[in-house]
Chains A and B, each alone.
Chain A
Amino acid sequence: MFSKLTVSLAACSMLVSASVAATNVIKIGVQAPITGQYANEGQSIDNGVKLIVDQYNAKGGVLGKKIEVVTCDDQGTAQQAAICAKKLVNEGVKAVIGSYTSGATEAAQTTYNRAGVLQTSDGTSDSLIAHKYWTFFRNSFPNSAEADYTAKYFVDGKQYKKIVILSDYSSYSTDLADATIKALKAKNANIIYEGKIKSGSQNFTATLTKIKAMEPDVIYFSGYYTDGGLLRAQQMQLGIKADFVGGDSNDNPDYMKLAGESAQGTLLINVPTPDILPYDIAKTFLVDYKAKFNAMPASIWSLMNVDGLRVILHVMEQTKSEDTKVIAEEMHKLKDFPGITGPVTFREDGERTGGGYMTYEVQADKSYKIVYQ
C-alpha cells in the first residue's frame, strides 16, 4: 500500500518536473523542403539553423533556456506547408525559419500570423509582404529588386535587342518574371516572347524550338535550378545561340550537373555567393558549417535563413523577452544588424532593405566570374 503510494507520488513528481522542463526550452521551427525537388536547399537550411542553435546552446542557450529545433518537411508544396504550419503552431514554436519557396511560405503565413508566431523566409515573391503581417520578416531581397537589376543589366549592360522571358507556374517564378517584364518595359526593352514551362516536365524542346525561330539575343529563365539546368542543356542541343540568363534560383550545384558541359557561359544573377561574402562572420560560419556537415551550404539562401534566425535570437536576448509581439517590434527598429549576408534592416512591412545583385558567368570548371555589378 505504502509503496504503491510512493510510486504514484514519484510518478506525479516526475510528470511535474517534466512539464517544468518543457517550459524551460524555447522552440524554434524550421519549415523547409527536406524532401522533394528542392531537398538540397531545404536540408541546407535545416543544417544551418541546427548549427547556430548548437552554438547558442553550447553557450547556455538564450534567456537561460535551451533552444530546441522542430523541423517540418513541406516538400516545397503549398499543401504540405499548410499542414506544417498547423503542426509547428501546435508544437508551440516561438518562431519559424523558412520556407525556401515563396509558394510554401505564403501558404503558411496566415496560420503563423493568427498564432502570433514569427516567420522569416527567403521567399522572394513580392506578394509575401502584401498582407503586412507583423509576424512576417523577409530575410532575402524581393523579386522587384532583382528585376530592376536585371532590366538595367539587359538594357544598359548587354544592350539586348530581342529578349525571351520564360517562367514556370510557381508563385516565385511568375512574380519574378512579371516584375522583370515590368522593369524591362519601363526601360523600353524589346521583349519578343513571354512563355511558361511546366516545372518537372523534363522535355522543353518544343518550347525551345518555337523560340529558336525568333532568333533571340537572350533567354531569361526565372524558375528553379532543376528546370533551368535542363533548359540550358536542351537549348545548346538545339543550337540556339542566345545567351542564357538564370534568375537567382538557378544558382545551385545541381544546375551545373544537369546542364553538364552546357553550363559553361551561362549567366546567373544573384546576390553574392557564400564563398565571396566579405564579412568575417560569414567566413567563420562557412568554416563551422563545412566542419560539421562536410559540405558547403547549398546556396546563399541557406545563409539568408540563418541570418533570419540570428536576428530573432539576438533580439530575444536584447529585449529579454519571449513575447513575439515585443520581439517583432524590436526587429522593426533594428538598424544594420551584422548579418552573414550583409547588414540586416527590416521595413515596417517586413521587407529587408538593400540588394546588391551581381551577374556571374559560369566558367568551364564550373567556377564563377563576376561580369556585372
Chain B
Amino acid sequence: MDIFLQQMVNGLTIGSLYALVALGYTMVYGVMRLINFAHGDLVAFSAFIGLSVYAQIFGESATSLGVIITVFALTALSVACVGVLLERLAYRPLRTAPRLSAVVSALGAGLVIQNSVMLIWGPNMKIFPSNLFPSTIWAVGGIVITFTQVMILGVSSVLMVGLYFFIHQTKIGTAIRAVAIDQDAAKLMGINVNRIIMIIFIIGSALGAVAGLFIGSYYRGITFDMGWMYGLNAFVAAIMGGIGNIPGAMLGGLLLGLFNAMITGYISTQWAETFTFVLLIAILVLRPTGILGETVAEKV
C-alpha cells in the first residue's frame, strides 16, 4: 500500500508539471485552433532563463522566499515576453492562412527556440543549484514527500484554480471565452481579439515558465532539447482531457502523470511511453473529444 501511495505522489508531481504545460497548449488551441508546438521548447527555455536569473542576480547560494519569488517572477515575465513575440512573428501573420501553414510555423518556431537555447547556453547539460528550495523531506507513514514536491503540487494547484476562476469569473475571462467560440462575433461585440490572444500567450507562457523552473529545481539537470519530451507529454495530456478545455488539461496532465508512474512502477520502464500512446489512441477512438471535451453544435 505504501508503495502504491508513493507512486501516487511521484505520479501527481510529474502530472502537475504536465498539467501546467498542457494549459499552454489547450488555451492557445481553444482560442486560435492552433497547436502551438513551440510551447515545449519555451518550457525548456524558461528553465535556462531561470537558472541564469538565479545565478546572475543572486549567486548560486542565496536561498529565501524573496529570492524564490523574484526568480519565478522575473522568469515568468521574460518568458511571457518571448511568448508574445512568438505570437507576433510566427502566428499573427498566418492567422488567416490555411491551418497547416500555422502548424509548420509552430514547428519551425520550436526549432528556432531550441537552437537559440543551444547557442546561448551551449549544448552541454546545465545543472540547477540544489538549494533553490530547502531540502526538507517529510516521511508520512511509509511515504516520502520532499519540499520541492509539495511546492510543485501546491503552486500548480493554486495556479490552476486561479486560472479557472479568472476564465469564468472575470470580464477578460468572459472575453476569452467569447473569442474562443466565435472570433468575428466577438469582434462585433467590441472585443479586441488581438489583445485577447496576447493575454492568452502571456498566461500560457508564464505557466510554462513556472513548469520549466520546477523541472529544473526538481530534476536538476537541464538540456536544451528537453522541451520536446515535456511538450509531447503535455500535448497528449491536453488531448486526453479534451483540447481547448481548461479543467480538461489539468485532469489530463494529472492522469497522464499517474498513469506513467503506475506503468513504470508495476509493468516496466520499457513500456511507459508505448502505453502513453496506446492510451491516447484509445481515448481518441472511444471519446474523440477527450475526457472533459464537449461536442459543441456546429453552426450551419
A residues touching B (Cβ–Cβ < 8 Å)? Answer: 35-37, 39-40, 195-198, 200-203, 205-207, 209-210, 212-213, 226, 229-230, 233, 237-239, 254, 257-258, 260-261
A198-B269 in contact (CB<8A)? yes
**Distance in Å: Cβ of B242 to nearest Cβ of chain A:** 25
B2 partner residues in chain A, CB cutoff 8 A: 213
B127 partner, pick from A36, A237, A258, beta carbons under 8 A: A258
B220-A258 in contact (CB<8A)? yes
- A37-B269 CB under 8 A given contacts A206-B7, A209-B6, A239-B139: no
- What range describes how many residues of B lie at the interface? 35 or more
B130-A260 in contact (CB<8A)? yes
Considering the chains assembled together, what is the distance between the CA atoms of A334 and B13 in angstroms?
Answer: 57
A237-B137 in contact (CB<8A)? yes
Considering the chains assembled together, what is the distance between the CA atoms of A233 and B128 in angstroms?
Answer: 13
Considering the chains assembled together, what is the distance between the CA atoms of A195 and B272 in angstroms?
Answer: 14
A226-B261 in contact (CB<8A)? no
Considering the chains assembled together, what is the distance between the CA atoms of A192 and B289 in angstroms?
Answer: 44
A207-B139 in contact (CB<8A)? no
Considering the chains assembled together, what is the distance between the CA atoms of A257 and B269 in angstroms?
Answer: 25
B215 partner residues in chain A, CB cutoff 8 A: 202
A201 partner residues in chain B, CB cutoff 8 A: 229
B7 partner residues in chain A, CB cutoff 8 A: 206, 209
Q: Does B146 contact A (CB under 8 A)?
A: yes
Q: Does B264 contact A (CB under 8 A)?
A: yes
Q: Does B89 contact A (CB under 8 A)?
A: no
B123-A205 in contact (CB<8A)? no
B124 partner residues in chain A, CB cutoff 8 A: 35, 39-40
Per-residue A-contact encoding for B259-291, CB less than 8 Å = 1, 0 else: 011101110111011000000000000000000
A205-B127 in contact (CB<8A)? no
Q: Does B75 contact A (CB under 8 A)?
A: no
Considering the chains assembled together, what is the distance between the CA atoms of A239 and B138 in angstroms?
Answer: 10
Considering the chains assembled together, what is the distance between the CA atoms of A37 and B125 in angstroms?
Answer: 6
B127-A257 in contact (CB<8A)? yes
B123-A35 in contact (CB<8A)? yes
- A209-B3 CB under 8 A given contacts A200-B223, A202-B219: yes
Q: Does B10 contact A (CB under 8 A)?
A: yes
A237 partner residues in chain B, CB cutoff 8 A: 137, 144, 146
Considering the chains assembled together, what is the distance between the CA atoms of A108 and B14 in angstroms?
Answer: 38
Considering the chains assembled together, what is the distance between the CA atoms of A213 and B260 in angstroms?
Answer: 19
Q: Determine chain B's interface SS by DSSP, over half rule.
A: helix
A197 partner, pick from B135, B266, B269, beta carbons under 8 A: B269
Considering the chains assembled together, what is the distance between the CA atoms of A207 and B269 in angstroms?
Answer: 7
Known: A205-B10, A258-B127, A258-B221. 10 other contacts (CB 8 A): A39-B124, A198-B269, A202-B219, A202-B221, A206-B261, A209-B6, A209-B7, A213-B3, A230-B219, A230-B220
**Distance in Å: Cβ of B144 to nearest Cβ of chain A:** 5
Considering the chains assembled together, what is the distance between the CA atoms of A237 and B217 in angstroms?
Answer: 13
B125-A210 in contact (CB<8A)? no
Please give me the residue from chain A that is nearest to B146 by CB atom.
Answer: A237
B221 partner, pick from A39, A229, A238, beta carbons under 8 A: A229
**Distance in Å: Cβ of A205 to nearest Cβ of chain B:** 4
B264-A206 in contact (CB<8A)? yes
B residues 107-158 in Cβ contact with A at 8 Å: 123-125, 127, 130, 135, 137, 139, 144, 146
Please give me the residue from chain A that is nearest to B131 by CB atom.
Answer: A260
Q: Which of B124, B266, B272 has the most CB of A within 10 A?
A: B124
Considering the chains assembled together, what is the distance between the CA atoms of A237 and B134 in angstroms?
Answer: 12
B265-A254 in contact (CB<8A)? no
Please give me the residue from chain B that is nearest to A238 by CB atom.
Answer: B144
**Distance in Å: Cβ of A249 to nearest Cβ of chain B:** 14
B13 partner residues in chain A, CB cutoff 8 A: 205
A258 partner residues in chain B, CB cutoff 8 A: 127, 220-221
A196-B220 in contact (CB<8A)? no
Please give me the residue from chain B that is nearest to A240 by CB atom.
Answer: B144
B226 partner residues in chain A, CB cutoff 8 A: 200, 202
A209-B270 in contact (CB<8A)? no
A260-B220 in contact (CB<8A)? yes
Please give me the residue from chain A that is nearest to B129 by CB atom.
Answer: A260
**Distance in Å: Cβ of B50 to nearest Cβ of chain A:** 16
B223-A37 in contact (CB<8A)? yes
**Distance in Å: Cβ of B14 to nearest Cβ of chain A:** 6
A226 partner, pick from B11, B221, B268, B272, beta carbons under 8 A: B221
Considering the chains assembled together, what is the distance between the CA atoms of A261 and B220 in angstroms?
Answer: 12
- A206-B260 CB under 8 A given contacts A35-B123, A37-B125, A39-B123: yes
A254-B127 in contact (CB<8A)? yes
Considering the chains assembled together, what is the distance between the CA atoms of A11 and B223 in angstroms?
Answer: 49
B139 partner residues in chain A, CB cutoff 8 A: 239
B residues 206-258 in Cβ contact with A at 8 Å: 215, 219-221, 223, 226, 229
**Distance in Å: Cβ of A200 to nearest Cβ of chain B:** 7
B269 partner, pick from A195, A229, A254, beta carbons under 8 A: A195
B6 partner, pick from A197, A238, A254, A257, beta carbons under 8 A: A238
Please give me the residue from chain A that is nearest to B6 by CB atom.
Answer: A209
Considering the chains assembled together, what is the distance between the CA atoms of A140 and B296 in angstroms?
Answer: 65
Please give me the residue from chain B that is nearest to A229 by CB atom.
Answer: B221
**Distance in Å: Cβ of A196 to nearest Cβ of chain B:** 6
